[in-house]
Amino acid sequence: MLTEETKSIIKATIPVLEEHGDAITTAFYKHMFEEHPELLNIFNKTNQKLGRQQTALAQTVIAAAKHIDHLEAIIPNVNQIAHKHRALQIKEEHYPIVGENLIWAIGHVLGDAATPEIIDAWTKTYGVIADVFIQMEKALYEEEEWHDFKPFKVIDIKEESAEIKSYTVMSDDIKVQPIKAGQYITVKVHPENEENDALRHYSICSIDTTKGIKFAVKRDVAGSEKGMVSNYLHDNVKVGDEILLSAPAGEFTVDAPQEKDIVLISGGVGMTPIMAMLEDEEKKGRHIKFIHSAYNRDAVPFKAEIKKYHNKENVQFFFNYSESVGRLNKTKLADIMNGNEEIYMCGSVAFMEAMLEVFNEMNIDRSQVHFEPFGPKMSITI
């Protein structure tokens, strides 16, 4: 338990942390990787370069500090992060390393302003916040279908669109249970010419795992730092190769009451978890509006799967090709939706932000909108 004195120091120092948040987390990462280079095998170096994880961590620490009197308010966000941490196999023993380096960075950036009382208050507060994560992750580790990363053989690779390939993988030892629609798996690879392992999450295309786990990967611009693992998979991994996978994870799943209609909306490769949701919800007889935004028809993945639903009365499809008709906007969505549906959406951070703005214009309550961006969720600021 934190004392009132500790809490008031935390509240008083939030504006300073907000001001220096990015500087603190940048210093934190630099110092932590110098002290613990082995962690470069876990962290996403692309996110580091793009500053994504810096923002995510700074925002999370400040959000937690703001809610220090009622930490339960951050539980939904912790839940989403805890799933990612579990998928990356972040363990309890990693937390003190992050804590020590974060506190060091606060002292380093604030200089003399970081009094021993302030350092002490943040050390204790970090401990409390870390414990919320550790407890939630403990529960997820107890449920995980297998521990650590295990080898899976690639048994099929399919070109789903000009830029997207799906990979189906199977294990000799693990009979994988059906996944929950919307979940992802985490791949560990070690590209040649790279010093470290690289981990990435990829959404699963289908709940049916009897013929293997199928996930989809979008190629990134050639030579781009952004797509290091995706491009490695596209260019190097062949049928018969083995890749390492941790157990399926993620809480982006459909939980709307059965009588509610749902809108499944995706941009680009964001269609992947949405396909699993379509498969699952269609079977249950749910009324579904399936909206997909792509640059043009060539960019639409899973065309063969989509065809299977064309004569289903409970599913309506809408495709928006931005090359010819511009982006999805309020007028187009208001034609399709009645505003009472529960919305599940997936795509890039930019797509999510654009759609959230459109939903605001349509006066759709945020509680109806469930989403998973490809990138840290808390970097979304709308």
**Which residues are part of the catalytic machinery?**
95, 137
Give min distance, CB of 99 to ligand HEM, in A: 7
Question: By CB under 6 A, is residue 122 in contact with ligand HEM?
Answer: no
d(CA 257, CA 343): 12
- Return phi, psi of residue 31, to 5°: -65, -45
Nearer to ligand HEM, 200 or 214 (CB): 200
- Shortest distance, position 132 Cβ to ligand HEM, whole Å: 8
- Here's the x/- map for ligand HEM, 164-203, by CB under 6 A: it reads as ----------------------------------------
Exposure of 161 in the CB half-sphere (CA atoms within 13 A)? 23
Sheet strands (E) in 22-181: 150-159, 164-170
Residue among 371, 366, 292 at smallest CA distance from 333: 292
- Pick the binder of ligand HEM from 118, 245, 269, 378 (CB under 6 A): 378
Of 201 and 289, which CB lies nearer to ligand HEM in the complex structure?
201
CA atoms of 90 and 249, how far apart (whole Å): 13
In angstroms, give the least distance from the CB of 347 to ligand HEM: 14
* Candidate segments 55-63, 138-146, 250-258, 326-334, binder of ligand HEM by CB under 6 A: 55-63
Q: How far is CA 54 from CA 25, 64, 257, 355, in A?
A: 6, 15, 37, 24
Q: Decide whether 25 or 206 has the Cβ nearer to ligand HEM.
A: 25
Shortest CB 82 distance to ligand HEM, Å: 9
Q: Supply the minimum distance, in Å, between the C-beta of residue 200 and ligand HEM.
A: 9
Pairing between β-strand 198-203 and β-strand 184-189 as defined by DSSP bridges: antiparallel
How many C-alpha atoms does 160 have within 13 Å on its Cβ side?
Answer: 26
Count of residues in the chain: 382
**Identity (one letter) of the amino acid at 23?**
A
Torsion (CA) 287, 293, 296, 299 in degrees, nearest 10: -90
Site string for ligand HEM, 266-305 (x = CB under 6 A): ----------------------------------------
> Which residue number places its CB atom closest to ligand HEM?
44
Please select the residue that binds ligand HEM; options are 28, 29, 122, 133, rule is CB under 6 A.
133
By beta-carbon proximity to ligand HEM, the closer residue of 44 and 230 is 44
Would you tell me how many other CB atoms lie within 10 Å of the CB of residue 164? 22
CA–CA gap between residue 81 and residue 89 (Å, rounded): 12
Within 10 angstroms of residue 115's Cβ, the number of other Cβ atoms is 13
Q: How far apart are CA 287 and CA 269, in angstroms?
A: 23
43 binds ligand HEM (CB under 6 A): yes
Window contacting ligand HEM (CB under 6 A); options: 43-51, 212-220, 274-282, 339-347 = 43-51
Task: Give me the least distance between CB of 251 and ligand HEM, in Å please.
Answer: 11
Q: Which is nearer to ligand HEM, 46 or 206 (CB)?
A: 46
Task: Report the residue number, 127 or 151, with the smaller CB distance to ligand HEM.
Answer: 127
Between residue 56 and residue 115, which ones bind ligand HEM under the rule CB under 6 A?
56-57, 60-61, 80-81, 84-85, 88, 90, 94-95, 97-98
Q: Out of 53, 206, 209, 320, name the contact with ligand HEM by CB under 6 A.
A: 53
| Residue 224: CB minimum distance to ligand HEM, A | 17
Nearest residue to 29 (alpha-carbon basis) of 108, 139, 87? 108
Q: What is the dihedral of CA 323, 325, 327, 330, to 10 degrees?
A: -170
Asked if 47 is part of the footprint of ligand HEM (rule: CB under 6 A), the reply reads: yes
Residues 201 and 17: their CA atoms lie apart, in Å, by: 30
Q: Which residues contact 25 (CB under 8 A, 6 or more apart)?
A: 54, 57, 58, 102, 105
Q: Given the rule CB under 6 A, which residues bind ligand HEM?
A: 39, 42-44, 47, 53, 56-57, 60-61, 80-81, 84-85, 88, 90, 94-95, 97-98, 129-130, 133, 376-378
